[in-house]
Amino acid sequence: MSDYNFVIDNENVVLQDKLQEYLVDTTQASIAVGYFFISGFAEIMEYLKKMEDSTNPEHMMRLLISPTTNRRTAEAMLAGNETYEETKSKSKIPNQKENSKEKTKDEVKKTLEYMPQKEKELLAVKKLIDLIRKKKLQIKVYTKEQLHAKAYIFDLDVKHLKRVAIVGSSNLSISGIKQHTELNIITIHDKDVQEVKEWFNRHWDDESCVEFTEDIADILGDSWAGKEHSPSDVYGKAVIHEHEDIFD
């Protein structure tokens, strides 16, 4: 235990590695982040097999996010465009559930066009849609106020470790899980993990939360990435995206 790394800073210990390590044996993942980035999901989507293959309806990923409050944060959330990631406003979001939901839907639709049309992004979107259809992913928007907390709670199917929680500064994005200098703490103490999960459940069940699972599935399904593509289509879009200066 003495040589176990409890601090994740993306320098000595990288969060992406830890997420992948735990997700392989995870039956239920509960994640609360300010923003959800497809770029971050793409790095962990191949490690969800145990959860995905389980017939237990409780074995799934629950994702709690803040509402999209403006175009720049929406672009960051779905396009994974890291230049938009910094927070522009720290003020509270008005407690208007339907307005927050509709605004988030509108912004998601607008900003899907900003997402790089590459194979990795295409596969990530299709994986998201598949997990939702299999009822292995549920997404809620926390509209009460800005959700600034970042927490990752994993229920594990291993003998030596039943639950683990990671709490800190990292959003589920490329920058948050492996590029930026962050500070996260792992706890494997059952009492601590229980308290973190109770915090998550309390916010998950808060009356201000609105369901967003089917909404985002429909939006993604109607997008370029959600439609059927041949391998040549994907390759062609990737080439055009990589050489936009030539085609302009």
Q: Which has more confidence, 45 or 73?
A: 45
Give yes or no for residue 227 having a pLDDT over 80. Answer: no
Give the per-residue pLDDT at 195.
Answer: 98
Query: Quick one: which of 198, 216, 169 has its CA closest to 7?
Result: 169
Question: Mean per-residue pLDDT for 189-202?
Answer: 97
Rounded Cα–Cα distance for residues 213 and 141 (Å):
9
Residue 107 to residue 222: CA distance in whole angstroms: 14
Let me know: does 167 contact 199? Beta carbons within 8 Å: no
Cβ-contact 66, 183 below 8 angstroms: no
Pair 187, 17: CB distance under 8 Å: no
Which pLDDT value is given to residue 113?
Answer: 63
Mean pLDDT of the chain: 80
> Which one is predicted more confidently, 5 or 32?
32
Give the integer Cα–Cα distance in Å for 158 and 26.
9
- Condensed to tens digits (0 to 9), the pLDDT of residues 89-118 reads 444 444 457 666 776 676 666 656 666 677
Q: Strand (E) positions, the chain? A: 7-8, 26-33, 61-65, 137-142, 150-156, 163-168, 184-187, 209-211
Tokens of residue 180, six digits: 């930026």
Residue 197 one-letter amino acid: K
Kindly indicate the confidence band of residue 84, based on its pLDDT and cuts at 50, 70 and 90. Answer: very low
The domains of the chain, with CATH numbers, are 7-247 (3.30.870.10)
Q: Is the pLDDT of residue 35 over 70?
A: yes
Q: Which residue has the higher pLDDT, 82 or 165?
A: 165
Q: Tell me how far apart the alpha carbons of residues 114 and 241 are, in angstroms, rounded to a whole number.
A: 11
Higher pLDDT, 35 or 25: 25
pLDDT of residue 37: 77
Q: What is the pLDDT of residue 125?
A: 86
Length of the chain: 248
pLDDT at 86: 42
Read off the pLDDT of each residue in 72-93 and give the average, rounded to a whole number. 43
205-to-86, 95, 107 alpha-carbon distances in Å: 28, 15, 25
CB 224 within 8 A of CB 236: no
Q: Which of the four pLDDT bands, split at 50, 70 and 90, describes residue 120? A: confident
CA distance 156 to 105: 33
Q: How far apart are CA 115 and CA 204, in angstroms?
A: 28
What pLDDT sits at residue 112?
A: 64
pLDDT band at 70 (very low <50, low <70, confident <90, very high): very low
Rounded to a whole number, what is the distance in angstroms from the first to the last CA of the chain?
A: 57
Percent of the chain predicted with pLDDT > 70:
70
pTM: 0.78
Provide the pLDDT confidence category of residue 69 given band limits of 50, 70 and 90.
very low
> What integer pLDDT is reported at residue 164 of this predicted model?
97
